[in-house]
Amino acid sequence: MSVVNWFCLLSPVLIALGGSLCAENEIIVTSKKTQHGPDALAVKVNLESVENTTAANIAEVLARQSSVYVNRFGPPGTHSSLYLRGQNPENAGVYLEGIPLNDIYGGGFNLENLPVFLFQELELYPTASPLHLPGSFAAGAIHLRLREPSPQKKIWLNSALHTLGGGLMGAGVQLNGQFHYAEIAGSENRYRYQDNAGTAFLNKQDDTWQTRQNEDFFQGGYTGYYQKTIHSHKISILGDVFAKERGLPGPIGVSSEHARLHNQRGLLNIIHLTPLGDNMVLQNQLFSLVQNQSLFDPQYELATGLKENQRLTFSGGAASSWQYFSNFIFWRNDLSFRLNQIWQNKESFANRIETDLGSAMDIRPWKDYFRLLLSAKAHVLQDIPQIERNNLINFEKIFGIQENLSAHLGFFPFSLWDNPNTKFEIFAAVYRSGRFPTLAENYGDGATLLPAGNLKREQSLTNSAGLQGEFTCGFLSCALVANYFLTASENMIIFIANSQQTMVAVNAGLVQLEGIESDLRIAYRRYVSFNLRYQYLEAREWGQLPYYYGKYLPYRPRHKAYAFSEGGNRFLRLFAGLDYMGRNFRDRYNSYYFFLQERIRFFGGLIWFLEGNNRQQLSYTMRNITNEVQTDVLGYPLPGRVHEIRYQRIWEGL
C-alpha cells in the first residue's frame, strides 16, 4: 500500500484530531450481541451510522461485514449475490420485517434492490435462520428492519448524483406513528472496461476499451408503515411496492444489447401485538407477498429460445408467537404457515406449502454471569408440482421436515468484577440447519435444466466459539468480536451436465468451512472512530466429484479485511476506508486462469453539515479511488473510480 493510500485512510483521523477542540458528543460503540430475546444472536448493523449511510445500497453495507462476501455482477443497481460464512447464496435468507423475500424458484436474492435509507438496522444471523423468521436456510439470514415511526413529525428529502450517469431522489414523511417513504433511482451505468475480444490468454493486440451497454436500470418504490395502539393492542401495518427495470448485459463474451428484466414486488404485513399479563406477549401476523419477474429477449440474444419468460410468485401466510419473559428467562414459541404458488408464463408451475413450529429459550441462570440460548424449530415442507412438460420425467410431490437446532452458552467473566463499563462474553455454540431444494432444482426450468427428483436437503452443522465485548475507558470506547467457526455442509447441490443438451441438480457436494471473524471498533468521543474487520476462511470441497475433491470453493477468499476511519467535528466529517480481498478462485476446479489476484479498493469522502443536528447535509464520496479494475465474476466488468454527491434535508417538528 502506497504512502498516498495510507494518507487517504488516516486523513479522517488527522482532521478529527485537529477539530477535536470544538467537538461535542461521543460516538456510541455498542456491542453486537448482548440483547435478551429472539434476536439475541444477531450481529446488528446500524444503517444510520456514517459508515453505512455512505454505502450505495444494502449489498455494499453487507460487503463490509466480516462474515459476508458479496459477489458483484456489475455496478450498484445490477446484481449481486451473498455468501454468508462461505455458504452458497441460496442458503442465505433475506427478510424484510419478518417476511422472506427469497425466490422459492431459485437463484438467491438480489441485494441490489434494497435502498439503505429505508432501513434503520440490519440483523445478520451468520449461521442459521432464527426461530422468529419463517423458513429454513443452511447459512443463516439477513433481517432488514425498517425505521420505527415516532410521534415526532419529520420530512426527509434525499438526493444523489454519481458519475456512472445516475442518481436517486427520495422523500419521506413521519407523523403520528406513520412512516411513508418513496424513492426512485436509476443509472445509465455507462463506464469503460477492457474487452479482450475473447482472446483472454495470449492475444493482447485486439484488446480494446469499450463502454458497457445495456447495464442501465430504473427502479422506484414506496413503503408505508403505520402503527396504532388501541387499548393494549398494538397494530402495525406495512405496505411495500417496488418495481425495477434493468438491462441484462451478460458476460463480455456473449453480451446482449436488448435483453431486459422487469421485477415487481408488492407486500402487505399486518402485525398484532398484545400483552397477556405482565410477563407474556402474544403476537399474530398476517402477510402476503407477490413477486413478478419478466424477462424480455426480443433479439433472442440469451439463447433460451424465448422472447418473453414470465414468473409470478404469490406467498401468503400467517404466524403466531407467544412470548414469556422475566429476569431469568425469555421463552418464545412460534407457529407459522405459508402457502406459495408459482405461475410460469401464466401456467401454474408448482405449490409449496411451508409450516414452521418451534420454541426458543434465553436463560440467564445466575443473573448476568451465564446465558444459555436454546432453540428448536421444525420446518415442514410440501412441494406439489403442477406441470407435465413431456413424457420423459416424473414430477413428484416432495415432502420433508428440516430440523433446526441451536445451543449457545455464554459466560460473562467481567460480571464477576462488577464493572459497569465492561460487557464481555465468552461463548460456545452449536447449530444444525438446512434448506430444501428450490423449485427449479427440483423440477427444472423447462429447457436445459432437467427435474432432478429425489434431491435431498442441504444440511449444515456448525460449531462456533469466541468472545465479544465492549469496554469504556475514559473517553475511549472499544468493541471487539472474535469468532471461530467450523461448518460441515452435506448434500450440497451442484449442477451437472448430464447429456449433450441438459443439466441436472445433484447432491454431490460435501463442504467444510472453517473460519475466523474479527471485528474491532474504537472511538474517541465524537472526534474519531476506527473500524477494522478481518475474516479468515478455509472453504473446501470433499464431495463425490473427484475433480472437485479437495479444491477450494470459488468466490471464497481466504483473507478478507476491511478498515474504515471517520472523524471530524459537527460541521465537517471525513471518512475513508479500504476493502482488501486475498486471492480467490472463480471456478470450482481452481484453474489458474480464473484466479483473482489479491486486491485493495479504497474509498473516501466528506460530509458537510450545512445546518446543525444533521438537518441539512451535503456529502461527497469517491469510490474505488485507485481505479482497480479486477472484477468479482469473470466476464462481468466493474466500474473504476466513481464520484458521488448526496444531499439530505430534514424538516423536524412541523
Could you say whether residue 266 binds other proteins (CB under 8 A)?
A: no
* Least distance from other proteins to the Cβ atom of residue 463, Å: 17
Q: Which of residues 133-192 bind other proteins (CB under 8 A)?
A: none
User: Does residue 544 bind other proteins (CB under 8 A)?
Assistant: yes
**Cα–Cα–Cα angle for 316, 452, 261, rounded to 5 degrees:** 55
Q: Does 368 bind other proteins (CB under 8 A)?
A: no
In angstroms, the first-to-last Cα distance of the chain is 50
User: Which residues, 451 to 480, sit near other proteins by CB under 8 A?
Assistant: 452
Binding of residue 560 to other proteins (CB under 8 A): no
CB of 106 to other proteins, least distance (A): 17
DSSP string, 29-85: ---SS---STTTTPEEEETTSHHHHTSSSHHHHHHTSTTEEEEESSSTTS-EEEEET
Query: Which of the stretches 31-39, 199-207, 322-330, 460-468 binds other proteins when contact is defined by CB under 8 A?
Result: 199-207
Nearest approach, Cβ of residue 107 and other proteins (Å): 17
Residue 450 touches other proteins, criterion: CB under 8 A: yes
- Interaction between residue 419 and other proteins (CB under 8 A): no
- Name which of 209 and 417 has its Cβ closer to other proteins: 417
Q: Which three cell numbers stand for residue 500?
A: 449433450
**Nearest alpha-carbon partner for 137 in 101, 176, 167, 186:** 101
448 near other proteins (CB under 8 A):
yes
Q: One symbol per residue from 594 to 613: x for binding other proteins (CB under 8 A), - otherwise; what is it?
A: xx--x---------------
**CB-CB neighbours of 561 under 10 Å:** 18
Strand (E) or helix (H) holding 12:
helix 3-19
Q: Could you tell me which residues are beta bridge partners of residue 557?
A: none
Per CB under 8 A, the segment of 32-40, 371-379, 577-585, 615-623 that binds other proteins is: 577-585
Q: Contact at 8 Å (CB) between 639 and 628? A: no
Is residue 422 a contact residue for other proteins (CB under 8 A)? Answer: no
CA distance 343 to 340: 10
Cell of 402: 428440516
647: nearest Cα among 222, 117, 292, 30: 117
Sheet with 43-46, strands from edge to edge, namely 43-46, 119-125, 140-146, 92-96, 99-100
The span from the CA of 542 to the CA of 217, in Å, is 40
* C-alpha torsion 40→432→372→408, nearest 10: -70
Told to check if 591 binds other proteins by CB under 8 A, we report: yes
Q: Which stretch binds other proteins (CB under 8 A): 5-13, 28-36, 527-535, 584-592?
A: 584-592
Q: Which is nearer to other proteins, 220 or 635 (CB)?
A: 635
Rule CB under 8 A: choose which of 271, 504, 574, 606 binds other proteins: 504
Q: How far is the CB of 480 from other proteins (least distance, A)?
A: 15
> Does position 14 bind other proteins by CB under 8 A?
no
Segment contacting other proteins by CB under 8 A, of 81-89, 296-304, 471-479, 620-628:
296-304
Distance in Å, CB of 196 to other proteins, minimum: 9
Residue of 616, 625, 620 lying closest to 648 (CA atoms) = 616
- Residues 6 or more apart whose CB falls under 8 angstroms from that of 60 comprise 70, 76
583 binds other proteins (CB under 8 A): yes
Query: Which stretches does DSSP call E strand in 126-216?
Result: 140-146, 154-162, 166-175, 178-187, 192-195, 208-211
In one-letter notation, the amino acid at residue 333 is N
365 binds other proteins (CB under 8 A): no
Comparing CB distances to other proteins, the nearer of 554 and 577 is: 554
Q: Does 300 bind other proteins (CB under 8 A)?
A: yes
* CB of residue 340 to other proteins, shortest distance in Å: 24
- Does the footprint of other proteins cover residue 417 (CB under 8 A)? yes
> Rule CB under 8 A: is residue 209 a binding residue for other proteins?
no
| Of the candidate residues 277, 546, 550, 653, the single one contacting other proteins (CB under 8 A) | 546
Cα maximum dimension of the chain = 79
Residue 401 binds other proteins, judged by CB under 8 A: no
Judged by CB under 8 A, does residue 584 bind other proteins? Answer: yes
- Taking the complex as a whole, the smallest distance from the CB of residue 5 to other proteins amounts, in Å, to 20
- Contact flag: residue 257 with other proteins (CB under 8 A): no
**What is the size of the binding site for other proteins (CB under 8 A)?**
65
CA distances from 582 to 150, 555, 635 (A): 44, 11, 20
In the block, residue with C-alpha cell 473517553: 475
**Alpha carbons 364 and 254: distance in angstroms, whole number:** 58
How far is the C-alpha of 438 from the C-alpha of 459, rounded, in Å? Answer: 14
Among 231, 547, 550, 654, binds other proteins (CB under 8 A): 547
Q: How far is the CB of 582 from other proteins (least distance, A)?
A: 5
Q: Which of 230, 390, 473, 613 binds other proteins (CB under 8 A)?
A: 390
- Give residue 91's identity as a one-letter amino acid code: N
Binding-site ranges for other proteins (CB under 8 A)? 197-203, 206, 251, 253-254, 300, 303-307, 369, 389-392, 413, 416-417, 446-448, 450, 452, 496-502, 504, 506, 508, 536, 538, 544-547, 552, 557-559, 582-585, 587-595, 598, 635
